Amino acid sequence: MEAKAATQVRQFTVAEDDDGIRLDRWFKRHLPEVPFGTVSKWARTGQVRVDGARAKPEDRLAKGQVLRVPPGGDAPHRKTKPKRELSEEEISEARDMVILENKAAIVLNKPPGLATQGGTKTTRHVDGLLDAFVEGEDDPRPRLVHRLDKDTSGVLLVAKTAGSAAFFSKRFAGRSARKVYWALVVGVPDVKEGTIDAPLAKQPGTGGEKMHVDMENGQRAVTRYRVVDKAGQKTAWLELEPLTGRTHQLRVHCEAIGHPIVGDGKYGGQDAFLTGSISRKMHLHARRLIIDAPAGSGIDGKIDATAELPEHFAGSMEQLGFDLALSDAEPLKGDGPPEKTKAEKKQAARQHAKQARKAKPSRRGRGEAKKAAPKKPMAGKTGPTRKPGGKKR
């Protein structure tokens, strides 16, 4: 979308990707340089119209409707972020990660060691490579909708449009997306298939860098697992399916039952490393993702993506004699994701309220809108479950 100030009336046709979106959200998505206060003023004075009729900021748009936008209204401090220029090497790196692509999403196979997003000391990350998928000036920039830890490899879904990002985010938040990981762990669990139900919280004294099991104050975290195969008693190959999405959930849960993930020194310490020639890198891989596809994506039903193992993980599997054909990474049978607790529902409600507050005009915007509004005359008064430290059930 053109970020420069417009000098003429503009007309836009509501795309399928924006079907059902609020008018104010449409502006935030497509004309972010126009502040909310201006949108409200245009709506109040009838300058912005939908199919020729006046519209309010909270009105919902429908596919095919024609939106009339008056000239001007740009806020200089809210210009859209320019596209980052990538080197040929970075573009090639981004393209080499692609597993599949459709109108709604790009599915990547993230290599270990590459962060999903940037941070204080992190300048190389997946998010920084997404400009490789922006071809035209008006093309939207792909958006991350979930994350993988830096040292975790595998399937990472990126939304191609704002509409598909909202669609996928709801599936991840609602826990209808099914993710299956492969992991090598130290030792062999006694129970070959079961559920780990152990609440997690930030570990005190780590600056939020580590999580731990906290039976009193932690957020509920549930993981299904299945032992696919074992190499003697020193290591096992597991399928892991997180039914909740807590930070470092799989890593903490495996350590909590006494079987840390191979190479995960952060949670398993020195016990997480095997002797011999097995790689010291972490052996946790997002093998498969199954998620609903939005309408218009070119896919009927679901997106089903599988990611090949990185070199170090594949080498370890071969050395240990594991046959990849033993697992198709099918989501484990059983009840669906657990119901959200009251605390989780309250947290979701608070988040919704926070987003609603963000959509409201600032105090300055309200003041400007109040000044511009016409004055009114005064009126008179009138499966088996395992809990760390507990018994198997």
Please identify every residue annotated as catalytic.
149
Three-class SS of 28-79: HHHCCCCCHHHHHHHHHCCCCEECCEECCCCCECCCCCEEEECCCCCCHHHC
Residue 231 pairs in a beta bridge with: 235
Is 12:69 a contact under the CB 8 Å cutoff? Answer: yes
- Count of residues making up the chain: 393
Residue 242 pairs in a beta bridge with: 223
| Cα 305-306-309 angle, rounded to 5 deg | 150
Beta carbons within 8 Å of 130's beta carbon, 6+ residues apart: 94, 141, 142, 143, 144, 158
In 3-state terms, what secondary structure has residue 145? coil
Label residue 214 exposed, middle or buried (CB < 10 Å: 0-12, 13-18, 19+).
middle
Report d(CA 237, CA 225) in Å as an integer.
10
Q: What are phi and psi of 309, to 5 degrees?
A: -70, 145
Report d(CA 169, CA 174) in Å as an integer.
8
Residue type, 73: G
Instruction: Give the CA dihedral 293, 295, 297, 302, nearest 10 degrees.
Output: 20
Query: If residue 353 lies in a helix (H) or strand (E), which one and from where to where?
Result: helix 342-359
Q: What is the per-residue burial (b if ≥16 Cβ within 10 Å, else e) of 229-249?
A: bbbeeebbbbbbbbbbebbbb
Report d(CA 376, CA 92) in Å as an integer.
62
Both structure tokens of 214 = 């906290």
Report d(CA 74, CA 315) in Å as an integer.
55
Residue type, 2: E
